Amino acid sequence: MAYRVRIFLRRQDQNAGRYIGERYLQDMPRLRGRVAFQLGDTVQAGTVERIVPDSWQPVSELIPTVHVLQDGET
């Protein structure tokens, strides 16, 4: 099952994330969990820092906003 979310993506050198739009996640987003999603021609991955609303449930019709800390470059 895919989960429709709105994503704010933050690089490690940024104080605030930038809105990148709606995406579909293959796995349910969980606080401090890992997510991966398509952004242009690349797959981005990171750690969920926040889900708004805090009380979001997967069975809800509400589209959650997911704040993601992007993986650093290695």
Residue 72, pLDDT score:
81
Residue 52, pLDDT score:
97
Q: What is the pLDDT of residues 22-71, one digit of tens each?
A: 999 999 999 999 999 999 999 999 999 999 999 999 888 999 999 999 99
pTM of the model: 0.91
> Which residues are CB-neighbours of 39 under 8 A, at least 6 positions away?
9, 20, 23
pLDDT of 17 higher than 60: yes
